Amino acid sequence: MRFLSGLLILSGIICFSACNSSKKEETNTAIKQAKFTKTEFGKCDTTGNNGATVKIDLWEPAGTDSASSQIRTFLSGKVIERINEQADSASIAATPGADKNVKAAYEVFAANYKKLKAEFPDAPGCWFIEVKGDTVMVSDKIVQYQLDHFAFTGGAHPNSFRSYYLFDVKTGEEKNVKTFVADSVALLKKVETAFRKLEKIADTTNLEDAGYFLADHKFFLPANYAFTKEGVFFYYNPYEIAAYARGPVTFTIPYAQLEGIVKKELIF
């Protein structure tokens, strides 16, 4: 009888463990079934130094669940936005599907390049857009995603821009990074202290006088920051707070310094 009771208890433990494992597997479907998708439209003729090309290299969830589908749809929309940033609204409106389809968005981009070359045959250089996306960190609760955008359509140098996105692992819903911050005022102070330390600027120095760009003469959080395993990674894009030559301004503040400021329990 005692032996039978032991078997029943053991069976219950195994069943409980299996059910929990199955449930965890289900909530992480978007992560466990993933792939990198590489797509290229057009070519740059390096001999003649002309042409228009779009290259896309993205991490995407490959599952058939609704969370995976929602993340894929979101990322596709962002890629289309990035390509269409190089076009005018009239060109986009004149091309069916340009606001919904990556290939159609590329066709607008290529058509605008051909139009430029027709008007200015001696205009040098290829036009290109590159969009790269990958996960920064994945926990049982969130997917932290990074999207990099590089573009050249003439001028002194290519332009680059990085953005971060948060997704709920279970639903695939995009989350606003601000919902993970308990005290935005305290966070701003921490970020300014870290910024001044990185740039070797005294607390008493006026940042605008030192050549930095401020919003309404006040220091500000970057438009993009990400949650990593070590802490919060802050990323100021070129031109966001400093000149292009300075490049991106980046630094990480450990979670230990952000107690009561960042809702770590929502991240891990």
Residue-wise pLDDT for 91-112, tens only, equals 999 999 999 999 999 999 999 9
State how far the Cα of 92 lies from the Cα of 170, in Å rounded to an integer: 35
> pLDDT digits over 189-218, tens only?
999 999 999 999 999 999 999 999 999 999
* One-character DSSP codes across 139-199: -SSEEEEEEEEEEESSSSS-EEEEEEEEEETTT--EE-GGGGBS-HHHHHHHHHHHHHHHH
pLDDT of residue 72: 96
Looking at the DSSP bridge assignments, the partners of residue 61 are 34
Distance in angstroms (rounded) separating the CA atoms of residues 12 and 127: 63
d(CA 159, CA 15): 55
Both tokens of 200, joined, read: 């070797």
User: What pLDDT, on the 0 to 100 scale, is given for residue 30?
Assistant: 56
Indicate the domain borders of the chain.
Answer: 29-175, 178-266
Pairing mode of beta strands 127-138, 52-61: parallel
The confidence score (pLDDT) of residue 5 equals: 47
Give the residues of the chain that fall short of pLDDT 50: 1-27
What topology is assigned to 29-175 in CATH? Heat Shock Protein 90 (3.30.565)
In this structure, are residues 164 and 186 in contact, taking their beta carbons and an 8 Å threshold? Answer: no
Global pTM value: 0.85
pLDDT at 123: 84
Smallest Cα–Cα separation from 101: which of 80, 71, 86? 80
User: In CATH, which of 3.40.190.10, 3.40.50.11540, 3.40.430.10, 3.90.640.20 is domain 178-266?
Assistant: 3.90.640.20
**In angstroms, rounded to a whole number, what is the distance separating the alpha carbons of residues 177 and 187?**
13
Q: What is the pLDDT of residue 6?
A: 46
CA dihedral 136, 84, 36, 125 (to 10 degrees): -100
Q: Read off the tokens for 68.
A: 């995976």
Pairing assessment for the beta strands 142-152 and 159-168 based on DSSP bridges: antiparallel
Looking at residue 178, its pLDDT comes to: 96
**Interaxial angle between packed helices 102-119 and 66-84, expressed in degrees from 0 to 180 and rounded to the nearest 10:** 10
Q: Would you state the pLDDT for residue 47?
A: 81
